[in-house]
Chain A
Amino acid sequence: MEKVSLRDAYGDTLVKLGEKDERIVVLDADLSGSTKTAKFAKRFPERFFNMGIAETNMMNTAAGLATTGKIPFVSTFAIFGTGRAWEAVRQTICYPNLSVKIVCTHGGITVGEDGASHQALEDVANMRNIPNMRVIVPADDVETRAVIRKIAYTDGPFYVRLTREKFPRIFDEETFKFEIGKGHVLREGEDVTVIANGVMTSFALLAAEELEREGISVEVIHMSCVKPIDSELIVKSAQKTGAVVTAEEHSIIGGLGSAVAEVLVENYPVPMERLGTPDVFGRSGKGWELLHYFGLDDKGIIEKVKKVLERKRR
């Protein structure tokens, strides 16, 4: 599969939106080269605001801009946008339900060499727990473009988690449709459901192929929208397969795995396994090396599938 850059897709889509709509403004905290908002800055310097290394004020300023009818996109690394600035996001963006679009890059372990201080493994959890906030973790460039276009014209706050590393392209530009709160069944199966997002969706597809050779039929669901989550699809699939595995490039605490578990436990409890980073900090290394180091790959998913199938048989 061709590897594509999600953050470049973001920067390019911002420019396209900016061409058509003067209300689009972009804020960054000294990372515009990395988050790719520099593309917008170059094209529309008067509508780009570098707020310096001051993420809290960047969020508050974006909220103020939203009250004047602008559509602010705010970018920095995921750890700063959802950690450092968390309280501003809660108080000044989400509590007043303002239309600020927080799009952070460098989410997850694939930040790589910078190590634990810069690897956001709790960003989805941080954002998911705030009322009014919606959280999306796209898998590739095609989805990123669709998500950015969609949230620009949907009222209220959003958090979109992008990455430094390039990921395999999964979707077809011509046919892909993004809907807030809807999961995608990428492969139908009978024995077990794997629910994934971000880079883990491509690993889920690889794992499903491998497992099919062993006679295990896997249903793969891509769940980019962690909040609101597609409860109906989760329950429907669990009723069919009777076992669920989640896979995400995020801590197993508070992210996709937790969100799916919340749905299942209240609606249709089945054996479930969660793949993600355990309750630990990351470390330096190359992005793809780190994924394998933490077992966040097709092998890791296969292991979890076998474990959950064993529990299902009991």
Chain B
Amino acid sequence: MITFEPEFFLKRNRDIDEVTLRAIAREVRKDILKMTSNAQSGHPGGAMSATDIIVTLYYYKMRHNPLNPKWEERDRFVLSKGHVCPALYSVLARTGYFPLEKLMEFRKIDGDLQGHPDMHKTPGIEISTGSLGHGIGAAVGMALGLKLSGSDSKVYCMIGDGEAQEGSVWEATMAASHYNLSNLVVILDNNNLQIDGPVDEVMSIYPAAEKWRAFGWNVMEINGHDFKEIKEALDRADRSKFKPTIIIAKTVKGKGVSFMENRAEWHGKALPPELLKEALKELGEIV
């Protein structure tokens, strides 16, 4: 297991190479599959498309303190697409917010890891989310509040592409540029699959980059599974002086397991035990 001292996370832009990030992400994907399989419930597909970005945020980019989750100088992460919380729970556990064993409490009646993030039950969760389209508005409020207080903390927020169909996403998008929230960075997990099928078939959000550009945002488009590109995009967002940034990350739903990739059916379904074994083997676990 790859572990770091808690002090490691206190400064931004840490010295960590792509090989290490990839190795961590592989562990996180295994956690996601085990957690959802153990609960026989949850959303593995989207969690696996979001994994590489969340790993890069917590291990490379964000200033945070696993021993003091409410540390005032921390950067904030809002998981607006709350259903992919297994990826976030795994990263929080692995960076030291709570013991790894807790992950198996996911979705259990006596556990602290709710089906969607609960800020009062799980350390490190900045705000409770789950109903799509609300987290990004809360992130706007956090960025506004931090700016008003003269803090240099940043707010990172991940939204889904299906989520971008919610009108409130665009209300928040409008407000963020109106208030020049350059301390807000949104990442669009663009795996192009939602429950009922491909996003462009269910209700197209495209052209996405043009939409956010027209709303006054700093827009970048990257491969959301290329750690070098993720790191560079997050660094470039620091240079935006007036505009909020959106990183449109092309991703693959179910990334990492061949038979789950690009399959909408793994949006909200856990692997049965036989398939779990096979998937873990693909991720390099000796079963």
A residues sitting closer than 8 Å to B (CB atoms) are 25, 46-47, 49, 51-52, 54, 56-57, 59-70, 72, 87-88, 91-92, 95-97
- Of the candidates B127, B135, B148, B175, the one whose C-beta lies within 8 Å of that of A70 is B148
Q: Knowing that A54-B174, A91-B130 are A-B contacts, what are 9 other residue pairs whose CB atoms are under 8 Å apart, sorted by A's residue number?
A: A54-B168, A56-B134, A57-B171, A59-B137, A61-B137, A61-B138, A64-B137, A70-B145, A95-B118
Which residues in chain B, 125-146, are within 8 Å of chain A measured between CB atoms?
Answer: 126-131, 133-146
Cβ–Cβ contact B142 & A65, under 8 A: yes
Cβ–Cβ contact B144 & A95, under 8 A: no
* B138 to A, closest residue via Cβ: A64
Q: List 27 A-B contacts (CB under 8 A).
A: A25-B145, A25-B148, A47-B148, A49-B179, A51-B175, A54-B171, A56-B133, A56-B167, A57-B171, A59-B137, A60-B134, A60-B137, A61-B137, A61-B138, A63-B141, A65-B145, A67-B138, A67-B141, A67-B145, A68-B145, A88-B168, A91-B128, A92-B128, A92-B138, A95-B128, A96-B118, A96-B128
In the bound complex, what is the Cα–Cα distance between A49 and B180 (angstroms)?
A: 13
Q: B259 to chain A: closest CB distance in Å?
A: 34
Cβ–Cβ contact B175 & A92, under 8 A: no
**Set of chain A residues within 8 Å of B172, measured between Cβ atoms:** 57, 60-61
Which are the 5 A-B pairs with shortest beta-carbon distances?
A64-B141, A60-B137, A68-B145, A57-B171, A61-B141
Q: Among A25, A56, A61, A69, find the residue whose CB has the most chain B CB atoms closer than 10 A.
A: A61
Cβ–Cβ contact B128 & A64, under 8 A: no
Q: How large is the interface on B (under 10, 10 to 19, 20 to 34, 35 or more residues)?
A: 20 to 34
- Of the candidates A61, A88, A92, the one whose C-beta lies within 8 Å of that of B144 is A61
Q: A83 to chain B: closest CB distance in Å?
A: 15
In the assembled complex, B3 has its CB within 8 A of some CB on chain A:
no
In the bound complex, what is the Cα–Cα distance between A68 and B139 (angstroms)?
A: 11
| Main DSSP-derived SS at the A contact region | helix
- Of the candidates A52, A56, A64, A70, the one whose C-beta lies within 8 Å of that of B168 is A56
**Set of chain A residues within 8 Å of B145, measured between Cβ atoms:** 25, 64-65, 67-70
**Set of chain B residues within 8 Å of A70, measured between Cβ atoms:** 145, 148
Cβ–Cβ contact B131 & A87, under 8 A: yes
Which residues in chain B, 149-189, are within 8 Å of chain A measured between CB atoms?
Answer: 149, 151, 167-168, 171-172, 174-175, 178-179
In the bound complex, what is the Cα–Cα distance between A69 and B148 (angstroms)?
A: 11
In the assembled complex, B120 has its CB within 8 A of some CB on chain A:
yes
* A60 to B, closest residue via Cβ: B137
In the bound complex, what is the Cα–Cα distance between A96 and B126 (angstroms)?
A: 10
Cβ–Cβ contact B171 & A92, under 8 A: no
In the assembled complex, B119 has its CB within 8 A of some CB on chain A:
yes
In the bound complex, what is the Cα–Cα distance between A199 and B136 (angstroms)?
A: 39
In the bound complex, what is the Cα–Cα distance between A60 and B167 (angstroms)?
A: 13
Cβ–Cβ contact A88 & B175, under 8 A: no
Q: A62-B141, A64-B141, A65-B144 are known contacts. Are A92 and B174 too (CB-CB below 8 A)?
A: no
- Of the candidates A57, A87, A91, A95, the one whose C-beta lies within 8 Å of that of B175 is A57
Cβ–Cβ contact B139 & A64, under 8 A: yes
In the bound complex, what is the Cα–Cα distance between A88 and B80 (angstroms)?
A: 13
**Set of chain B residues within 8 Å of A59, measured between Cβ atoms:** 137
Q: Among B126, B134, B136, B178, find the residue whose CB has the most chain A CB atoms closer than 10 A.
A: B134
- Of the candidates A25, A72, A92, the one whose C-beta lies within 8 Å of that of B127 is A92
- Of the candidates A49, A56, A67, the one whose C-beta lies within 8 Å of that of B142 is A67
Cβ–Cβ contact A57 & B128, under 8 A: no
Cβ–Cβ contact B119 & A88, under 8 A: no
Q: Among A60, A62, A66, A67, find the residue whose CB has the most chain B CB atoms closer than 10 A.
A: A60
